Amino acid sequence: MSQLLYGVAYYDEYMPSDRLHQDVELMQAAGINVVRIAESTWSTHEPQPGVFDFASVDRVLDAMHHAGIRVIVGTPTYAVPTWLARAHPEVLVVTPQGPRPYGARQNMDITSPAYRFYAERIIRQLIGHVCDHPAVIGYQADNETKHYHTSGPNVQLLFVKYVHDIFGSLDDLNARFGLDYWSNRINSWEDFPSAVGTINASLGAEFAKFQRRLVTEFLAWQVAIINEYKRPGQFVMQNFDLEWRGYSYGVQPDVDHFAAAAAFDIAGIDIYHPSQHDLTGIEIAFGGDLARSLKRASYQVVETQAQGFAHWVPFPGQLRLQAFSHLASGANMVAYWHWHSIHNSFETYWKGLLSHDFAPNPVYEEARMIGADFARLSAHLSNLRKPNKVAMLVSNEALTGIEQFRMLSFKRPYNDVVRLMYDQLYRMNVACDIVGPSSEHLEDYTLLIIPALYAAPDSLLEQLNAFVRDGGHAVYTFKSGFADEYLKVRAVPQPGIISEACGVSYSLFVEPKQVALRGDPFGVGAEHNSVEAWIELLTPTTAEALASYDHPHWGRYAAITRNRYGAGTATYIGCMTSAAIMARVLEQAVRNAGLWGADQELSFPLITRWGINDAGKSVHYYFNYCDDPQSFRYPHEDGTELLSDALIRQDDVRAIDPWGVVIVEEE
Amino acid sequence: MSQLLYGVAYYDEYMPSDRLHQDVELMQAAGINVVRIAESTWSTHEPQPGVFDFASVDRVLDAMHHAGIRVIVGTPTYAVPTWLARAHPEVLVVTPQGPRPYGARQNMDITSPAYRFYAERIIRQLIGHVCDHPAVIGYQADNETKHYHTSGPNVQLLFVKYVHDIFGSLDDLNARFGLDYWSNRINSWEDFPSAVGTINASLGAEFAKFQRRLVTEFLAWQVAIINEYKRPGQFVMQNFDLEWRGYSYGVQPDVDHFAAAAAFDIAGIDIYHPSQHDLTGIEIAFGGDLARSLKRASYQVVETQAQGFAHWVPFPGQLRLQAFSHLASGANMVAYWHWHSIHNSFETYWKGLLSHDFAPNPVYEEARMIGADFARLSAHLSNLRKPNKVAMLVSNEALTGIEQFRMLSFKRPYNDVVRLMYDQLYRMNVACDIVGPSSEHLEDYTLLIIPALYAAPDSLLEQLNAFVRDGGHAVYTFKSGFADEYLKVRAVPQPGIISEACGVSYSLFVEPKQVALRGDPFGVGAEHNSVEAWIELLTPTTAEALASYDHPHWGRYAAITRNRYGAGTATYIGCMTSAAIMARVLEQAVRNAGLWGADQELSFPLITRWGINDAGKSVHYYFNYCDDPQSFRYPHEDGTELLSDALIRQDDVRAIDPWGVVIVEEE
Amino acid sequence: MSQLLYGVAYYDEYMPSDRLHQDVELMQAAGINVVRIAESTWSTHEPQPGVFDFASVDRVLDAMHHAGIRVIVGTPTYAVPTWLARAHPEVLVVTPQGPRPYGARQNMDITSPAYRFYAERIIRQLIGHVCDHPAVIGYQADNETKHYHTSGPNVQLLFVKYVHDIFGSLDDLNARFGLDYWSNRINSWEDFPSAVGTINASLGAEFAKFQRRLVTEFLAWQVAIINEYKRPGQFVMQNFDLEWRGYSYGVQPDVDHFAAAAAFDIAGIDIYHPSQHDLTGIEIAFGGDLARSLKRASYQVVETQAQGFAHWVPFPGQLRLQAFSHLASGANMVAYWHWHSIHNSFETYWKGLLSHDFAPNPVYEEARMIGADFARLSAHLSNLRKPNKVAMLVSNEALTGIEQFRMLSFKRPYNDVVRLMYDQLYRMNVACDIVGPSSEHLEDYTLLIIPALYAAPDSLLEQLNAFVRDGGHAVYTFKSGFADEYLKVRAVPQPGIISEACGVSYSLFVEPKQVALRGDPFGVGAEHNSVEAWIELLTPTTAEALASYDHPHWGRYAAITRNRYGAGTATYIGCMTSAAIMARVLEQAVRNAGLWGADQELSFPLITRWGINDAGKSVHYYFNYCDDPQSFRYPHEDGTELLSDALIRQDDVRAIDPWGVVIVEEE
């Protein structure tokens, strides 16, 4: 697929009147060349058990094909029909809060045999029905799949079998999980208590890992079925979603994206983000960097906002800025959720490209411009490769580990640390990949950014030590290396195994009140010279102290250290710093790794992203993420500004509009 | 009944010792001429199933009759006896949060046949027992009845039958409610899912409407039973209550007061309100305007606070101010909940006229003054008619519609908009009636105030267009006209049908951050020139823009418009304005409608209310709702100040004490 | 036991590796001479029902004995094994929120016969196994026992029998509890509703009292079993804990400590408190004063923090300050929870003396100093007697009574009033005992401090009147005397029976907004001259008004009064004052009682505590509870400063370090 895809989700089934042909005409006018259908409407396609009706699918496929618009067909399994829940109430998920009622989507037990039986049948019926249609270019398996906290007795039994497979012996389990504590020891398999009520963090975290594995297995099962029907040239993808804080914020707690992505041909992702004055592009970049890293290839933005919520309606220019920002991260598709605004039910105020009146509006008009640009520049902008030398190492296990102890320990969620680091990299235009703890490609990078790697096996930490020893650079925060993969705290001076590379040791940690770094070592000014939430009282062994605490009693301890180890360096940040301090520490690490270049001379709100296109040419994107006009000096080889088709020479000073975009392809 | 009633709720059953005769003496001394009894003490009157004991009723009836105090007897059905809940646990309501335990009042399923059987028996026994007693002037059916969120399987079955009766065909239902969304489509009646878990706002809102209908039906059933016993001259009423925010705030979500009032002879209402420095009289006026409008006649304040909570204890003068404020809205009865302060159980700190020591206290002493005034002035002040030309149109369906989408849309409750408008009318002394969407009297009014009429059938909106076309004036806020009666958003440019009268159109709406109106068009000053929560980006078609947004990107859209349409005008307010802006918009509308008069030259804290008494004379009340003395120029015909029995002439300047009252009857 | 005990909780079962001998060596080096074991590890000691394994107990006993460290053995009954919950799910407590799952500790129904059967067996097995071991000096019965809100059907049946035993007749019950209200009247025993759903405060409070009685009975049952095995010289204690607000705050709502302590030989208590800049010593003093008062003898601090949470890690010097502060209250043992920091499960971040790495650290090093001082000074500092003349009267029934009405009345919890008074006494170095409503020693005191004695029988209030009449001094706050022991409000002018001694009367009370005392009668300055939450409008009968309200309408009422009654005086505080006002009122009361002495010339942060040691000598502790050096003039007889072994003479001015300690034994 060398063509950029510009798409929408389309629900003929939701329309208040038959308007398929008007919609197709409006899509064509806007340059929409792909639609995603069918993933939400099982009850329409199978109105009664075993009775199938794909009329709305067929008519959309035909109309789209006629208009040259491609179609991605989703399996409708994330929202179950009334008849299924009525006949087999056990398909509804049992969570720690009890059984979920019928009504919402994503309320099923993904392990339920009854659910699996009916899901398999509708998948085979639907995909078998459409796979030969020429409009179909690919499939989506389910939708934003997660485990929905399934934890009923059947899931508990599966979990016990899973634990049995891992540990074999209860003695080993009791020891690794520390189950003697509070009389939780399990001395016979039939006594195994439900993980739901447990206060044992090791057991709780292992159950969370098991639940994520259920998602991986469920998706692989769906993909395997679809693959039986998939024709050459067609693909299968999923629309992964991120931790949700009213928008896509960070690492998804409930899915191991790295593992789950293995079954798919292409990585897809849903990205929703703040807008208007709060639009920064960070979520676009973060989600994009993650999705691109999953398959180490271009990816699809399966859903992003058009109008969205009332607080998301884009200012003029923002929709376009967003679209090109996705491309700049390596996306080959940008698709809106969704085409029209829904007239009933739940997401009535999650608006599409069209308002409820179906008439062109300012947002639609801006999409027309984007569609035209995408079509014209597709050959230049698709399949962007990004050979990054920086990677951020994220971990579901670390996230869960931090979460398990949030009440009594560091009170902030893991993703706060991830974003504290990622955001500063983004703002200084340092591009990065995002890798997981099982990555086989760490050696491809020069600099690893490692937020709060709380839980990790010895092998990973030893691999990271070797990475530094062999010339790599690493930046760790507090809490890294603290516990093993089963959340057992290491019974050695902290930060445990990585102490060797970091050259630092501590045994006390404190919650600070109004603590600063002594002497403002990073020159960020009094307002920004602060740490919060967590400070480790570090004693360098071989490291140099970059900062210490301004505190009457903790002043003798280091706060941030840097250590030469073998051919590399390891920086250890022992406290939750302000954004300004983090920016300076990361800047030093980037410079130290020899990665500071011309792009880093620009900074937010002027964002630049870079890649290499199919023609092997470098493409430089410049984005103005603010409401004021900006200008910048273009530092790279002479090239062509693609949107204006104008020449641009090295050192030219170039203006860029509020929320504006400049794209340069080097000659 | 031409006599003003001044009353208390009286519970002989709760007394720590026999003190009926002391109480009667204290009541007589205070001018109390009516008591309300029996509505809370089923377990006393029927100690075991089928065993009846009305001794406490009889002794109170006799004692009151002997003292010339009238009695209203309530059916005791809102609080069920222990034996009933024990023998028939199914009488306890099942809510979306599960079954309610025994203990509180208002915890029953009002549809339960077991409950109905026992309720009917105690009603017949009690009312049959008392109906011939000469002290009895009327009856109260149940108490502050609502549906208590009853939603168990039996209620769900009734709801399905109700839906079946409305729609007949599931295809129609699926289309009107948009049930294809998220696979909620119902293809066979036996698949109908519980409304409890639904995320479909149309289904959820219809269930809420159905629950309100259960209340109407339940009350009518009680009234029909009571009517079998009612003697000539006796009445049946209910004490409706309002949305509760720690006090009586606005439209009751769980009862359709307009429908429920039909069965009753007299409208009654319970009004509790802020006090001390926060006493404004707004709740007294709002509740009174609503109650008076229900039967288009004088009403009864069945409950209001004497001492009440610790934060309600009235300042000297306030109890009197409150009492006359009720009369000024058209009340014929003011009754306190309650006589004494309860020594046990739950409402021990919701104090009555007497404290727990039963001794006269400053609040009681003030009641004595009120009682004397009521008795002396009864002929002048009872049966006040208020021929208002302004009405506010409120709607349970709009309230529910706003609520269904509050999470993802306009985040404020409906009553915030109601009160934003009502409060400004009150403060500028514009009297109004309150009407519902089925009112047959819209043509009686010159100006209709219409807050957030989110859900309405085409017919109502067309009627409102006609109202304007025929010379009426209307003021709509944002979100009016948006959805039909089943919460389906209209698939036309907004505000849909009323666009015609309003001369305005929009398709985008935004949540504002610090947005003002450009140029402060209403001259309210920077502090007050703000809008919040919701702004619609209006484009006038035929309207003139009264205001536009001060915003870098939304500045080209109108915020508030006014349109000549036929012989009338329609004002459309596209945003949640500050109180100050709303006041000016409403002032313009009142002036434009030709309704600005001498009373509007006064404003809060100087409140004036007007009506016509049985003698056909105009009565003007003047209230000083603040802690400082005030004065005003009396603008009407010469008359008599009734409290002082002094002449007052047009243009006399009259002083009014802090929290003071002046009442003028024109000659 | 004349030796001071310095101890830790020790869990050999939790260790990641066998390190018993290293631990014992580190303990010996630190002067640890007692360990507490076994109370949390039932599942280790009885891995399957009826199979016992005390290997870890035996090896710890032997190792400790060999090292001269004594052992307290706890019964492991507060945390049940997996096999017990699996085989007998009914052992898990049913609370008003439903059944508790397996996982946490303290989740059992302490009335369950199945639980009692297994608990008795493990107690007999364990205690029988260890009782003859020479290392064992005593036993702990269960751990921080409470009722865990047990309220299932079996508990409800026990409650009905309990009520039957008290009242005999339902008529009496209905009258005392006011059950006619809202139809709650119980006319036949079989109709008795569950206390869980009740809104009747009298019923709810009686159920809470009954639940506390279950705790007393359960502990006495355990102690009786242990006593069968107890050898001469051994003791049985419990570790009582206080109301928890993230630390030990005040009176425990769920246990009647005075009643429960009767069964034990020694009172033990767990005290956790704020630290770092928030360390004041108040919780150490409050918990100590309570524990000492329970048995009127020295007590044991069974648990207190070493490192504790990240916000508790002590500044240098604080651990030592804390240890001596415990002794200064009369403790004979100070024991840390716990020795090492746990590597798994739930309390991983509730750190012990050692961090997870088991290496000496600054906190451990400070403990070494303490251990050496304890050993050296044991004969001087153990068995401190404190012949206080001031006592604070606290009441579970008052606490529950305040709580039952918190929603609609005084919105602060009882312990806020307790601490408002206690904290000021502490800060002015007025030592006090803490007594309960059934105390037989009131006559030992000169001054009684009585916070919010909301619920009390006539007999107690009459006893308190007599106390004053006979020359005692009493300080009551608002709400005292209001209700009887069944929460029935007294139907007389308030404060009821104590009006006689207090010479004051009121019938109105108000929630104040920004109310001050008129004329700042206590000279505390505008910032501190405020009252909040609750004001009673007092009218003195025979009392003098010490303060009245600065309010336009309540200004004529008294706020605080003092009355001569017989040979004594009673102060009545009718409002929730600022801390500064309370300090001045209490100062006046202390002076008035003739109890103001040299110690009261010092004040926080300089704290002094006094007692008499086994040699009959006065011991004076001086503590500097702040981060700055202080000095004071020593006012007592010449003596020896024990830590430095230096002479100190009367009127010597003595410096004291930040967080420092000075201990003087008079000659």
B490 part of contact set with chain A, CB < 8 Å: yes
Q: Which residue of A has its CA nearest to C41?
A: A183
Please judge whether B191 and A82 are an interchain contact, meaning their C-beta atoms are less than 8 angstroms apart: yes
Q: Does residue A473 have a pLDDT over 90? A: yes
CB C663 within 8 A of CB C643: yes
A169 Cβ under 8 Å from any chain C Cβ: no
Q: Which residues in A lie closer than 8 A to residue B185 (C-beta atoms)?
A: 41, 43-44, 47, 81-82
Phi/psi region, residue A296 (left: phi>0; alpha: psi -120 to 50; beta: rest), is left
**Chain B hits for C489, Cβ within 8 Å:** 341-344, 348, 356
- C593 and chain A in contact, CB less than 8 A: no
CA atoms within 13 A on the CB side of A152: 15
Whether residue C178 has pLDDT greater than 50? yes
How far apart CA C248 and CA C157 sit, in angstroms, is 33
**pLDDT band for position C2 (cuts 50, 70, 90):** low
What sign results for the dihedral spanned by CA atoms B428, B433, B439, B441? negative
Chain B nearest-CA residue for A311: B511
Tens-digit pLDDT profile for residues A120-149: 999 999 999 999 999 999 999 999 999 999
Tell me how close the Cα of A180 comes to any Cα of chain C, in angstroms.
Answer: 6
Residue C521 at interface with chain B, using a CB cutoff of 8 Å: no
Which chains pack against B, by 3+ Cβ pairs within 8 A? A, C
Binary contact (B43, C185; C-beta < 8 A): yes
pLDDT in tens, B332-376: 999 999 999 999 999 999 999 999 999 999 999 999 999 999 999
Read off the pLDDT of residues B557-584 as tens digits, 9 standing for 90 and up.
Answer: 999 999 999 999 999 999 999 999 999 9
Does the beta carbon of A634 lie under 8 angstroms from any beta carbon of chain B?
Answer: no
Q: Using CB atoms, which residue from C14, C48, C347 is nearest to A180?
A: C14
* pLDDT class of A2 with cuts at 50, 70, 90: low
Residue C232 has pLDDT above 50, yes or no: yes
Average predicted confidence (pLDDT) for chain A: 98
Say how many residues make up chain B.
667
pLDDT digit string, tens, across residues A325-372 = 999 999 999 999 999 999 999 999 999 999 999 999 999 999 999 999
Residue pointed to by tokens 């006649």: B297
**If 0-12 CB within 10 Å is exposed, 13-18 middle and 19+ buried, where does residue A610 land?**
buried
Per CB-CB distance under 8 Å, the chain A contacts of B494 are 355-357
- Taking an 8 Å cut-off on Cβ atoms, the answer to whether C16 and A511 are in contact is no
Whole-number pLDDT of residue B2 = 65
Q: Residue A277: closest CA among chain B residues belongs to which residue?
A: B513
Rounded to a whole number of angstroms, the distance from the CA of B154 to the nearest CA of chain A is 16
Distance in angstroms (rounded) separating the CA atoms of residues A661 and B13: 79
* Interface contact B508-A307, CB threshold 8 A: yes
Secondary structure of A112-177 as H, E, C letters: CHHHHHHHHHHHHHHHHHHCCCCCEEEEECCCCCCCCCCCCHHHHHHHHHHHHHHHCCHHHHHHHH
pLDDT at B489 over 60: yes
Is the alpha carbon torsion for C410, C411, C414, C417 positive or negative?
A: negative
pLDDT in tens, C184-204: 999 999 999 999 999 999 999
Whether the CB of C172 is below 8 Å from some CB of chain B: the reply is no
Residue B200 contacts A, CB cutoff 8 Å: yes
- Compute the average pLDDT of residues B393-397: 98
Average pLDDT score over residue span B224-250: 98
- DSSP state string for A482-506: -B-TT-PBPSSSBTGGGHHHHTEEB
Q: Which of C191, C486, C489 is opposite residue B348, by nearest beta carbon?
A: C489
Q: Say if residue A575's pLDDT is above 50.
A: yes
Of C41, C85, C363, the CB nearest to A193: C85
Q: What is the pLDDT of residues A499-527, one digit of tens each?
A: 999 999 999 999 999 999 999 999 999 99
Q: Which residue of A has its CA nearest to B406?
A: A349
A201 shares contact with chain C (CB less than 8 Å): yes
Contact criterion met (CB < 8 Å) for C344 and A181? yes
Asked if C11 and A405 come within 8 Å (Cβ–Cβ), the reply is no
Residue A246's closest chain B neighbor by CA?
Answer: B408
What percent of chain B stands above pLDDT 90?
99
pLDDT of C604-658, one tens digit each? 999 999 999 999 999 999 999 999 999 999 999 999 999 999 999 999 999 999 9
Pair of tokens at residue C60: 């710890």
Contacts with A362 from chain B: Cβ below 8 Å: 508
**Closest-CA residue of chain A to B507:** A355
Minimal C-alpha gap between C296 and chain B (Å): 37
- Inspect the interface and report whether the beta carbons of A103 and B181 lie closer than 8 Å: no
A43 Cα to chain B: minimum distance (Å): 5
- Contact assignment for A183 to C81 by CB distance below 8 Å: yes
Give me A369's structure tokens: 């411009």
**How many of the other CB atoms lie within 10 Å of CB of C66?**
11
Residue A541 has pLDDT above 90, yes or no: yes
Inspect the interface and report whether the beta carbons of B80 and C190 lie closer than 8 Å.
no
Q: What subunits make at least 3 CB pairs under 8 angstroms with C? A: A, B
pLDDT band at B270 (very low <50, low <70, confident <90, very high): very high
Nearest to C308 by CA among C340, C273, C274, C350: C350
- Please state whether the peptide bond connecting residue B338 to the residue before it is cis, i.e. omega within 30 degrees of 0: yes
Going from the C-alpha of C334 to that of each of A624, C12, C39, C269, C301, the distances in angstroms are 64, 20, 18, 10, 5
C-alpha–C-alpha distance, residues A173 and A186, integer Å: 9
Who contacts C309 (Cβ-Cβ below 8 Å, separation ≥6)?
A408, A511, C349, C350, C351
Which position has the token pair 């304007």?
A: B468
- In chain A, the percentage of residues whose pLDDT exceeds 70 is 100
Q: How many angstroms away from the CA of C305 is the closest CA of chain B?
A: 41
- Average pLDDT taken over every residue of chain B: 98
Q: Quick one: pLDDT band at residue B596, thresholds 50, 70, 90?
A: very high
Residues B502 and B450 sit within 8 Å (Cβ to Cβ): no
* pLDDT surpasses 70 at C1: no
Type of residue found at A538: L
Which pTM value belongs to this model? 0.97
Q: Which residues of A touch C359 (CB under 8 A)?
A: 493, 507
Which of A44, A276, A307 is nearest residue B180 as measured by Cβ atoms? A44
Residue B279, min C-alpha distance to chain C (Å): 14
Q: At residue C499, what is the residue type?
A: S
A601-629 mean pLDDT: 98
Chosen from A13, A88, A344 to mutate, greatest number of chain B CBs within 10 A: A344
- Which of A194, A199, A493 has the CB atom closest to C346's CB atom? A199
How is A317-358 classified by DSSP, letter by letter? THHHHHHHHHHHTTEEEEEEE-SS--SSSS-TTSB-SS-TT-
Which of B409, B414, B77 lies closest to B245, judged by CA?
Answer: B414
A47-96 pLDDT tens trace = 999 999 999 999 999 999 999 999 999 999 999 999 999 999 999 999 99
Residue B427 has pLDDT above 50, yes or no: yes
Q: What is the pLDDT of residues C327-347, one digit of tens each?
A: 999 999 999 999 999 999 999
Q: Is the separation of the CB atoms in A468 and A545 below 8 Å?
A: no
Give the C-alpha separation, A394 to A601, whole Å: 27
Residue A1 has pLDDT above 50, yes or no: no
Interface touch B180/A47, C-beta < 8 Å: no
- Chain A residue numbers with beta carbons less than 8 Å from the beta carbon of C309 are 408, 511
Whether B359 and C493 lie within 8 Å, measured CB to CB: yes
* Chain centre to alpha carbon of residue A562: 30
Q: Rounded to an integer, what distance in angstroms lies between the CA atom of residue A357 and that of residue A63? A: 22
Its ipTM equals 0.96
CA–CA separation, C240 and A566 (whole Å): 55
Could you report the per-residue pLDDT of B124-182, keeping only the tens digit for each? 999 999 999 999 999 999 999 999 999 999 999 999 999 999 999 999 999 999 999 99
Cβ–Cβ of C491/B79 closer than 8 Å?
no
C313 touches chain A (CB under 8 A): yes
**Quick one: pLDDT at residue C195?**
96
Interface subset of C 644-663, CB within 8 angstroms of A: none
User: Residue B620 in 3-state DSSP?
Assistant: strand
Is the pLDDT assigned to residue B1 strictly greater than 60? no
* A 266-295 → B contacts, CB under 8 A: 276-277
Half-sphere exposure of C381 (CA within 13 A, CB side): 31
Interface residue A79 vs chain B (CB under 8 A): yes
Which residue has tokens 């703890």? Answer: A437
pLDDT in tens, C344-401: 999 999 999 999 999 999 999 999 999 999 999 999 999 999 999 999 999 999 999 9
Q: Which candidate, A335, A382, A376, places its Cα nearest to that of A1? A: A382
Which of C180, C492, C552 has its CB closest to that of B44? C180
CB atoms within 10 A of CB A380: 18
Residue A250's H or E segment, with its range, is strand A248-250
H helix intervals, A470-515 = 499-502
